[in-house]
A = this chain, B = another copy of it.
């Protein structure tokens, strides 16, 4: 059972759909990565949780930067997600998409939402670090068109079929 557990879990997680976000910060250099492990934890204080692989180029900067943006992507931003997921080297990624600065934190124009956060805690769990981030500034787009990731590819949302 143990031998087959990891591939089975991986397959199950392909059934899990999630929004695609880019986490971005400025610690002498700009660093950013695409993330799909993101949840809202509590409203008071407004807190997000995001999981980052410890091998990611942004990882070493998290303790130093202390502030970051979480940018929820729209369906029109799939190519930016690809760039920040590793198709482009860390130093070149911010040429993809339009990035602006708010108090030293980079954020992505045209995202579904920009959530600016203070990193409250970092907890290592296996290959990943769980980041608890307290939100201090938010902007939200008017239109609803989130980019999703599911079953190894990008997806959009749709209405639930009437016959289901």
Point out the residue from B8, B17, B46 that lies within 8 Å of A5, measured CB to CB: B46
- CB-CB nearest in chain B for A50: B39
A15: chain B residues within 8 A (beta carbon)? 19, 72, 112-113, 140-141, 144, 146
Interface residue? A23 (CB, 8 A)? no
**A12→B107 CA distance, assembly (Å):** 14
Interface residue? A24 (CB, 8 A)? no
Interface stretch, picked from A85-93, A96-104, A128-136, is A128-136
Taking a contact as CB atoms under 8 Å apart, the answer to whether B16 and A19 are in contact is: yes
The 8 A CB mask of A16-30 against B (1 = contact, 0 = none) is 111100000000000
Taking a contact as CB atoms under 8 Å apart, the answer to whether B9 and A127 are in contact is: no
Taking a contact as CB atoms under 8 Å apart, the answer to whether A75 and B164 are in contact is: yes
A41: chain B residues within 8 A (beta carbon)? 37, 51, 125-126, 128, 130
**A161→B157 CA distance, assembly (Å):** 10
**A10→B1 CA distance, assembly (Å):** 41
Point out the residue from B37, B42, B76 that lies within 8 Å of A40, measured CB to CB: B37
Interface residues of A in 139-164 (CB under 8 A from B): 139-141, 144-148, 150-151, 154-161, 164
Interface residue? A63 (CB, 8 A)? no
Point out the residue from B1, B14, B78, B132 that lies within 8 Å of A125, measured CB to CB: B132
What is the minimal beta-carbon distance from A143 to any residue of chain B, in angstroms? 10
**A16→B130 CA distance, assembly (Å):** 18
Residues of A within 8 A of B (CB): 1, 5-6, 8-19, 37-47, 49, 51, 72, 75-76, 78, 112-113, 115, 125-128, 130, 132, 135-141, 144-148, 150-151, 154-161, 164
